[in-house]
Chain A
Amino acid sequence: MNLLNLLLILPFLTGGVLSVIPSSRLAVKLNVAACSLTFIISLGLALEVLKRGTIQFDDHAFFLDPFNIFLVCLTTFVATTTSIFSGTYMLHEEEIGKVTSNQLRHYHAMYQLFIFGMLLALTTNNIGVLWIAMELATLATVLLVALYRTRSAISAAWKYFILCGMGIALALFGTILIFTTSSHVLGHSNEALTWTLLYPIADQLDSSVLTIAFVFLMVGYGTKVGLFPMHSWLPDAHAEGPTPISAVLSGLLLNVALYALVRCKTLVDGATQNGLAGYLMMGFGLLSVMIAALSLHRQKDIKRMFSFSSIEHMGLMTFSFGIGTFLANFAALLHMTVHSLVKSGIFFTVGHAAQSSKTQIMKKIRGLINLQPGVGVGLLTGTIAIAGFPPFGVFTSEFLLITAALETYPWTVGIILPSLVIAFAGLFRHLHPMVFGIPAREQKLLRVNMLPVYIHLGIALLLGIFIPKFLANWFQIAAELLSRGNV
């Protein structure tokens, strides 16, 4: 048994244990403990990668390289802070009778299963298993989105289930197409689906098959990334699910889907050599950024608004990976990190704000800074960070991204910059009255746990000012690897 097995087994087993623990308080504690332990294990693995570079486990079955190790750490880290936030939040939901303790038991079990799915997707070396893990993560979150059992929650979950089910089925079709050609080169076995063995022989694969395959993978995993026009499940699922789930969906699951897409892109690029995959990603990315920026203005629900902001940022990352130069990949990797930190931090504050105002409708949330200074300041800082103000990390990554775009396709900057400005205006237009307006009487004070928010924003700030050497080194190796296409 090595550390990696432990990393995967721990959430899986905890999920099983949590599904039979009746006491909510105990379950919350166990959830936090298990998540922190997973985080510690992932740090141990990160040290290994730091020392030895790319590692393979269990005879090619799993692998860690600079591209996925930082995502593993990010996933376990955000999962830990979310579990801390979710403790306060969900116990309050139980107190006010929104969920029963029975539902809460399912919630915790599914939460761990979801984390298991994501970690499996990130660490597996097999394209097929990657698909299975993505589907597993989807299935786990479907039930979480439907947790409140209200009309809109159920219809949101149904939409999520059908759309993502359909989308991800297309990704499986793409995977099968890859296998039809790779099994001729590597033989009819698991090896023909192994990333580390596929990359070196990418140029021997049939390029016409891979081109068709990529279209399917793009649409399939793109649905999960939340790219326009397959995004319509995302705002609903974010708005209707419990807030901790919105935080992990936005901060983690979208990243994992993008990870899958980028891995596929690197492989397909190696075979086709014509940059078609990159163009597709750039197109989808640009469209998503534009549409999401415009949609931000029309939202009434605070969680829907921030989920459109997630679509915008995923679009930016997809676009940047699509450009595919070293700098663009570096920018996208950094953006992945800071976006998931900041966005999950924002969802934590939004959760507290919505709980104290008893509504998610933005018109009814007013004057947070007077009423609950902690929440108000958190929301303000978070939004400043996500809108791309210096000195937060989002500014750095967006700056790098625009530099990369100017170097390669300068005209795209003409679309990106206005979209960023529009998105900024949309966010602040709604945010301003929520933070500084006159508070309504019915809002009540509530004990909040702002520590996770400050930790997230603090790290994002730190990444904007200076990036630690080991992280920059990983980003560089990963960016190099993605732009050249071999491991």
Chain B
Amino acid sequence: MNSAEVLRQLSTVSASLFLLTSFALLAQRHMRAFLIWFSFQGILLGSLSAMVAYSTDSYELYVSAILAFFLKGILIPFLLWKIVIRLGVNREVETQINLFSTMLIGAILVLFSYYVSLPIQKTIMDMTRNIIAIGLACVLISMLIMITRRKAVTQVVGYLTLENSLFFTATAATHGMPLVVEIGVAFDVLIAVLIFGVFFFQIRKTFDSLDLRHLENKP
């Protein structure tokens, strides 16, 4: 087996793992487990980048692997956990609709993504179609997470999962975007997290709760 073949298989494996983490996040009831899965997803992303970097000999990708590993695997989940503890919302994750239906919708989304990516010709690259389908599924599932959760923190994790899915698609399907873009995007995400942090405290101060239902009822 040559290294391209190994890489292909490894990418497919990590794609399925990535989809698994998305579903795990969708199904999670507890804040702690929710953030642990989120961190696991970041680490998975980092290792996939490192793997691709190793097999394609691209130093640029090592940079983004390290970025993904430290930012998404460790720093952001840790910061979120700190915020959650400080705000005292480390309890159960409330959902709008029950978990079973949520999972079912998630499964339908996966089917839908495969259907959407059917017309992509196989000729470009053997596995691109699969990866795009899974990437799209993860994007849609992240949106589902954002829609079905009530608390601001879980909505933010949904947003970050969305970002993760995009990074994943970029790394697996195209062996990473150019370095400028990767760093720029990572930088934007970091700023977004900081702003989210500011917002949590603002929302808490003004509404006495992080429940987003309060945001809808204007005075």
Contacts and interface: CB of A to CB of B under 8 A. Distances in A.
Nearest to B194: A139
The contact size tier of chain B is: 35 or more
A136 B188 contact: yes
A126 B166 contact: no
Interface stretch (A87-95, A181-189, A290-298, A347-355): A181-189
B178 A208 contact: no
A139 B116 contact: no
A188 B192 contact: no
A173 interface: yes
Interface in A428-485: none
Nearest to B187: A132
A162 B116 CA distance: 25
A169 B177 contact: no
B89 interface: no
A486 B152 CA distance: 45
A170 B188 contact: no
A132 B181 contact: yes
Nearest to A178: B174
Contact of B195 (A143, A155, A159, A183): A143
Given A176-B173, A183-B174, A155 B180 contact: no
A143 B197 CA distance: 12
A417 interface: no
B166 A206 contact: no
Nearest to A135: B188
Contacts of B163: 169
A166 interface: yes
A193 B174 contact: no
A162 B155 contact: yes
Given A155-B215, A206-B120, A172 B146 contact: no
B178 A189 contact: yes
The prevalent SS among residues of A at the interface is: helix
B207 interface: yes
A135 B162 CA distance: 15
Given A190-B180, A206-B124, A179 B202 contact: no
Interface stretch (B19-27, B32-40, B79-87, B131-139): B131-139
A184 B124 contact: yes
A129 interface: yes
A258 interface: no
B213 to A, nearest CB: 11
A148 B180 CA distance: 35
A238 to B, nearest CB: 15
Most B-side CB within 10 Å, residue of A139, A152, A159, A173: A173
Nearest to B162: A169
A166 B146 contact: yes
A82 B146 CA distance: 36
A52 interface: no
A192 B9 CA distance: 26
B41 interface: no
A166 B162 contact: yes
Given A162-B146, A179-B177, A172 B166 contact: yes
Interface string A145-176: 01001111011011101100110011011001
A151 B217 CA distance: 10
Contact of A212 (B117, B146, B191): B117
A181 B180 contact: no
A129 B195 contact: no
A165 B119 contact: no
A178 to B, nearest CB: 10
Given A128-B181, A180-B132, A165 B199 contact: no
A126 B188 CA distance: 16
A209 interface: yes
Given A139-B195, A146-B199, A206 B174 contact: no
Contacts of A161: 192, 195-196, 199
Contacts of A192: 178
B199 A158 contact: yes
A157 to B, nearest CB: 7
The contact size tier of chain A is: 35 or more
B188 A154 contact: no
B71 to A, nearest CB: 16
Interface in B30-74: none
Contacts of B139: 169-170, 173
B109 interface: no
Contacts of A165: 159, 192
A177 interface: yes
Contacts of A135: 185, 188, 192
A212 B174 contact: no
A142 interface: yes
Nearest to B166: A172
B150 to A, nearest CB: 13
A486 to B, nearest CB: 23
Contact of A157 (B116, B132, B162, B199): B199
Nearest to A236: B218
B170 interface: yes
A155 B206 CA distance: 10
Nearest to B212: A158
Nearest to B189: A135
Contacts of B135: 173, 176
Interface string A195-221: 000000000001011011000000000
A164 B136 CA distance: 18
A154 B177 contact: no
Across chains A and B, which 8 residue pairs bring their CB atoms closest together, nearest first? A128-B181, A132-B184, A155-B215, A208-B119, A190-B178, A135-B188, A176-B170, A180-B174
Given A129-B181, A165-B159, A193-B181, 18 more contacts: A126-B181, A128-B178, A129-B184, A135-B185, A136-B188, A139-B188, A146-B199, A151-B206, A154-B199, A154-B215, A162-B155, A169-B163, A173-B166, A176-B166, A180-B174, A192-B178, A193-B177, A206-B121
24 contacts: A126-B180, A132-B187, A135-B185, A135-B188, A139-B195, A149-B202, A151-B207, A154-B207, A157-B199, A159-B215, A161-B196, A161-B199, A165-B159, A169-B159, A169-B166, A179-B174, A179-B177, A183-B174, A188-B174, A192-B178, A206-B120, A212-B116, A212-B117, A212-B119
Interface of A: 126, 128-129, 131-132, 135-136, 139, 142-143, 146, 149-152, 154-155, 157-159, 161-162, 165-166, 169-170, 172-173, 176-177, 179-181, 183-184, 188-190, 192-193, 206, 208-209, 211-212
